[in-house]
């Protein structure tokens, strides 16, 4: 038992399981938003299936990224300690891990509804395909954003089986938000990526203009959050959560400068994770208070 524990921990480290806090809170927003906009009553089993879909999809995507990039990770001093180049997890084991998670993701969608099941291969193509994009386009950050933006609309579809403009607003919020902070994170590897002929916004535009573009994307994310709140007529709890989310977006741009990248990890992981969780808590609380008399009250 003691010998297997480090192996399990290694897989959690391989996929950076803690980074699930980026998209999962927005999936929960999509889920509870759908309950307030449909006659579907709350179901623990459905919520569990949605969370499992998020976990399996993200595990497949991150595992595949590590598998595809293993040669580059081994050559980059910053990433050489990752599980595959370090020999902690074999290449074959990593690939099997990816395949298993893809199968579990598709199987889980089958238990949700036909729409999610039919769209599951499309979702996998997008989130797995991202791993190749850095080889041919600097817009790879936007592809990552698209992958994570599937969370709120996917959760909404799990409940209703239909598309709606509200979860799409949050999907575009995630697209701008994730693309923006991924550009900031990629600043660390600008020189390495250039030496390997890899594409990224920092390689294309340089540090200063990358931070400017990232700021514009985060401005777009903030405006979408505001637009969604106005469109839905949300109350004070929503606006408290939205304000905190926007302030944390602003703060990360204040602590990362072209000449000082020492606080990138704080901006990337800590601030964005906190922003996502806090925003979702306030949005779901707002939905709860506004719809105590609806099927959502079946919780």
Helix H or strand E segment including 263: none
Closest CA to 101 of 155, 44, 59, 38: 59
| Distance linking the first and last C-alpha atoms of the chain | 38
DSSP 38: S
How large a percentage of the chain has pLDDT more than 70?
Answer: 93
Residue 200's SS3 state is coil
Helix H or strand E segment including 213: helix 201-232
Closest CA to 199 of 148, 132, 257: 132
As a whole number, mean pLDDT of residues 172-188 equals 95
Confidence class for position 50, pLDDT limits 50, 70, 90: very high
Confidence class for position 32, pLDDT limits 50, 70, 90: very high
For residue 4, the model assigns a pLDDT of: 47
- Prediction pTM value: 0.92
User: What are the φ and ψ backbone dihedral angles of 257, each rounded to 5 degrees?
Assistant: -120, 155
Domains defined for the chain, CATH in brackets: 4-298 (1.10.357.140)
**Segment among 1-5, 93-97, 145-149, 171-175 with least mean pLDDT:** 1-5
Helix H or strand E segment including 90: none
Residues ≥6 apart with Cβ < 8 Å to 230? none
């Amino acid at each position: 038992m003691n010998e297997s524990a480090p192996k399990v921990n290694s897989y959690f480290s391989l996929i950076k399981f803690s980074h699930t806090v980026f998209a999962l809170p927005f999936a929960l927003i999509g889920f509870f938003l759908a309950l307030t906009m449909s006659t579907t009553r709350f179901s623990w089993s459905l919520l569990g299936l949605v969370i499992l879909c998020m976990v399996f999809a993200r595990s497949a995507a991150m595992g595949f990224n590590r598998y595809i990039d293993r040669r580059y990770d081994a050559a980059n001093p910053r990433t050489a300690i990752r599980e595959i180049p370090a020999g902690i997890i074999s290449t074959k084991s990593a690939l099997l891990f990816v395949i298993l998670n893809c199968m579990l993701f598709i199987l889980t969608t089958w238990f949700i509804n036909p729409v999610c099941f039919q769209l599951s291969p499309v979702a996998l193509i997008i989130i797995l395909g991202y791993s190749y994009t850095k080889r041919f386009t600097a817009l790879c950050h936007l592809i990552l954003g698209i992958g994570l933006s599937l969370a709120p609309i996917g959760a909404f579809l799990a409940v209703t089986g239909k598309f709606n403009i509200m979860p799409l607003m949050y999907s575009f919020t995630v697209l701008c938000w994730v693309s923006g902070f991924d550009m900031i994170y990629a600043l660390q590897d600008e020189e390495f990526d250039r030496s390997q002929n890899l594409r990224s916004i920092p390689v294309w535009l340089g540090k200063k203009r990358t931070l400017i573009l990232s700021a514009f994307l985060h401005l777009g994310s903030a405006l979408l959050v505001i637009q969604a709140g106005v469109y839905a007529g949300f109350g004070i709890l929503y606006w408290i959560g939205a304000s905190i989310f926007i302030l944390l977006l602003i703060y990360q741009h204040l602590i990362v400068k072209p000449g000082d990248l020492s606080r990138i990890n704080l901006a990337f992981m800590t601030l964005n994770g906190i922003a996502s969780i806090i925003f979702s808590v306030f949005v779901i609380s707002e939905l709860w208070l506004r719809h105590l008399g609806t099927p959502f009250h079946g919780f």
